[in-house]
């Protein structure tokens, strides 16, 4: 270069063309698999062609539809590309209308990896980027199918970038310590489920819904079966015994047929519970990373989801009447990072002991109340609804008997049981304030304990009505971001003065935070 020639300006980062990549070619195989369900949408058109008397055109029309769908899938794959820069993921998509999306690393709150059965066979995975801009909605950004190793490497690169950024801010004396400073550098296993635990959990996951589906299926496909037998019907057990010359003995001992039908119910219920537990939680692992809790699980569909600890809003401990007797519980965490489109909260311990759950709660700073904790009760007025229902049932029973219908006795028998059950359930509506966490308990058949940190509560509403107001009572309703599948968080029918004092403490904690 001569002395008089000006030096060339260095290329700016924004002017450098990214290293564009395409999705894995196996994406096309997934597109072919999806053609089956999508072809069902074309059935009305095929039926219209057939009803018009053009049956010769049905098969060509279906083949043309499948070919066109495949060409569209190929075009979409060719026009989709992505690049990973030093600090962002860039995605371009669209066949005719192009869309350019840039997702900076510092906006990515979660990178989840999901593998279906076919994807696992092909060695690919779907990667979802959650930025939090959509309130946890699905579709903040995703890569439908990239190599599984590549997906893990991408997640590791984003995680390393965020860790470096956090370390830089912590080392900066002019800035305050940020999230991530002082956390452990190594991952720690918090909870796992082996095959024995899955089997025990499945036995406690007895499924009445599976019994209903099985019974409905037998009724629906009864004419297609090579035999006429209903495992739920004791009469069919008698017919079965007749084939072995045992009909007279079974008729003399009718309880045997009843036991056979009951055993059928139990076997189907337990088998379906075990199957659902294995499919959902096979290889379950909960790992504590420097900034998040990472959960991996699934037999046919393998999911890998990270939940930032700082985004956890509440903890929900649930169990059952029988589970509790054996010391088994389930833990869910309500978070701003929702668990995909299926669950608004995260199941982090599907089936564990309280000691195992306490280790997880310690990571999110939400301790459970101790055995000596003092609890407050809701007023028994909360049973007014079921009691009114019981009175209505008794009234209906009396009217039925007056009209000569003996079924009215059912209403008279059920009424006191409903009223007694409702009044008994009020004993299990409890709450307490631990200073930084509000704890709410309710339920005796399916007990549920909710831990609400004061700092997570965005709003506290005091509600009264014509029943609560004369008694000086109110219901506290807590607004917590994220939402839960297990219902709203509230403390019903407590003294108005206690409700106001608790609301003041929570709002003061939120202001300080």
- Between CA 138 and CA 27 the distance in angstroms is 20
Which pair of tokens denotes residue 297? 């699980």
| Secondary structure (3-state) at 34 | helix
Express each pLDDT in 163-179 by its tens digit.
666 555 545 544 444 44
- Between CA 386 and CA 74 the distance in angstroms is 59
Residue among 348, 366, 327, 369 nearest 190 (CA) = 348
- Between CA 168 and CA 173 the distance in angstroms is 10
Residue 497 banded pLDDT, cuts 50, 70, 90: very high
Residue 216 banded pLDDT, cuts 50, 70, 90: low
For residues 152-163, average pLDDT: 79
For residues 489-508, average pLDDT: 92
Domain ranges of the chain: 26-171, 208-279, 285-378+429-512, 381-426
For residues 197-213, average pLDDT: 77
More confident call, 328 vs 69:
328
Residue 507 confidence (pLDDT): 86
Residue 189 banded pLDDT, cuts 50, 70, 90: very high
Among 246-260, 405-419, 466-480, the range with the most confident prediction by mean pLDDT is 466-480
- Between CA 138 and CA 128 the distance in angstroms is 8
Express each pLDDT in 4-50 by its tens digit.
444 444 444 445 667 888 888 877 777 766 666 666 666 677 677 76
| Secondary structure (3-state) at 400 | helix
Whether pLDDT at 332 is above 60: yes
User: What pairing do the DSSP bridges indicate for beta strands 448-453 and 312-318?
Assistant: antiparallel
Residue 135 confidence (pLDDT): 43
| Secondary structure (3-state) at 183 | coil
Name which of 133-137, 154-158, 478-482, 505-509 the model is least confident about: 133-137
Residue 241 confidence (pLDDT): 56
Residue pair 344/338 in contact by the 8 Å Cβ criterion: yes
Tell how far CA 17 is from the center of its chain: 40
Residue pair 250/241 in contact by the 8 Å Cβ criterion: yes
Residue 186 confidence (pLDDT): 66
What is the strand order of the sheet 285-288 is part of?
142-147, 124-130, 110-115, 302-308, 292-297, 285-288, 188-192
Residue 79 banded pLDDT, cuts 50, 70, 90: confident
Express each pLDDT in 124-152 by its tens digit.
888 888 776 544 444 446 888 888 888 88
Residue 35 confidence (pLDDT): 64
Longest dimension (CA), the chain: 116
For residues 451-460, average pLDDT: 91
Whether pLDDT at 190 is above 90: yes
Alpha helices in 282-344 (DSSP H): 321-325
> No. of H helices and E strands in the chain?
15, 20
For residues 428-432, average pLDDT: 94
Residue 474 confidence (pLDDT): 95
Residue pair 143/103 in contact by the 8 Å Cβ criterion: no
Express each pLDDT in 50-63 by its tens digit.
667 777 777 777 77
For residues 79-98, average pLDDT: 85
Q: Measure Cα distances from 485 to 338, 346, 358 in Å.
A: 11, 10, 22
Residue 240 banded pLDDT, cuts 50, 70, 90: low
- Between CA 424 and CA 315 the distance in angstroms is 26
Residue 138 confidence (pLDDT): 45
Name which of 85-94, 356-365, 448-457 the model is least confident about: 85-94
Residues 6+ apart with CB under 8 A from 67: none
For residues 232-249, average pLDDT: 54
Residue 511 banded pLDDT, cuts 50, 70, 90: low
Average model confidence (pLDDT) across the chain: 79
Residue 249 confidence (pLDDT): 52
Phi then psi for 418, rounded to 5 degrees? -65, -45
Element (H, E) at 473: strand 473-479
Residue 337 confidence (pLDDT): 64
- Between CA 129 and CA 138 the distance in angstroms is 9
Which pair of tokens denotes residue 170? 């912590």
Residue 379 confidence (pLDDT): 94
Among 27-36, 81-90, 280-289, the range with the most confident prediction by mean pLDDT is 280-289
For residues 211-238, average pLDDT: 52
For residues 220-243, average pLDDT: 51
């Amino acid at each position: 270069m001569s002395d008089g020639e000006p030096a060339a300006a260095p290329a700016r980062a924004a002017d450098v063309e990214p290293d564009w990549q395409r999705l894995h070619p196996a994406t096309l195989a997934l597109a072919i698999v999806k053609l089956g369900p999508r072809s069902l949408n074309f059935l009305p058109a095929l039926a219209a062609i057939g009803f018009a008397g053009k049956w010769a055109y049905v098969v060509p029309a279906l083949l043309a539809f499948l070919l066109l769908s495949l060409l569209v899938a190929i075009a979409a794959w060719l026009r989709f590309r992505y690049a990973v820069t030093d600090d962002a993921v860039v995605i371009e998509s669209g066949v005719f209308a192009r869309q350019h999306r840039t997702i900076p690393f510092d906006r990515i709150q979660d990178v989840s990896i999901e593998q279906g059965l076919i994807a696992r066979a092909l060695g690919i995975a779907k990667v979802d980027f959650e930025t939090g801009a959509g309130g946890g909605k699905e579709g903040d950004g995703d890569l439908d199918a990239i190599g599984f190793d590549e997906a893990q490497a991408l997640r590791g690169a984003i995680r390393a970038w965020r860790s470096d950024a956090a370390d830089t801010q912590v080392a900066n004396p002019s800035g305050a310590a940020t999230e991530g400073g002082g956390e452990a550098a190594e991952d720690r296993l918090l909870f796992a489920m082996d095959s024995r635990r899955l089997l025990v959990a499945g036995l406690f996951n007895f499924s009445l819904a599976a019994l209903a589906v099985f019974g409905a299926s037998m009724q629906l496909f009864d004419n297609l079966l090579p035999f006429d037998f209903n495992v739920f019907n004791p009469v069919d057990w008698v017919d079965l015994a007749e084939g072995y010359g045992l009909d007279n003995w079974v008729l003399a001992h009718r309880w045997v047929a009843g036991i056979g039908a009951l055993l059928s119910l139990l076997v189907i219920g337990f088998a379906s519970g075990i199957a659902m537990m294995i499919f959902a939680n096979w290889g379950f692992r909960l790992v504590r990373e420097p900034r998040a809790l990472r959960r991996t699980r699934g037999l046919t569909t393998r999911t890998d989801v990270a939940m930032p600890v700082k985004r956890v809003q509440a903890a929900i401990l649930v169990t059952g009447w029988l589970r509790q007797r054996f010391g088994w519980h389930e833990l869910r965490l309500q978070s701003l990072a929702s668990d995909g489109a299926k669950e608004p909260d995260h199941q982090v311990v599907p089936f564990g002991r309280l000691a195992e759950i306490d280790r997880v709660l310690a990571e999110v700073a939400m301790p459970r109340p101790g055995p000596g904790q003092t609890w407050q009760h809701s007023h028994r007025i909360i049973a007014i609804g079921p009691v009114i229902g019981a009175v209505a049932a008794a009234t209906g029973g009396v009217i039925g008997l007056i009209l000569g219908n003996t079924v009215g006795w059912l209403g008279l028998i059920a009424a006191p049981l409903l009223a007694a059950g409702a009044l008994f359930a009020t004993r299990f509506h409890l709450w307490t304030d631990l200073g930084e966490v509000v704890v709410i308990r309710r339920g005796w058949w399916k007990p549920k304990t909710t831990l609400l940190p004061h700092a997570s509560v965005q709003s506290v509403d005091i509600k009264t009505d014509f029943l609560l107001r004369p008694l000086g009572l109110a219901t506290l309703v807590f607004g917590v971001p994220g939402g839960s599948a297990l219902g709203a968080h509230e403390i019903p029918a407590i003294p108005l003065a206690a409700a106001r004092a608790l609301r003041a403490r929570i709002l003061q904690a939120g202001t300080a935070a």
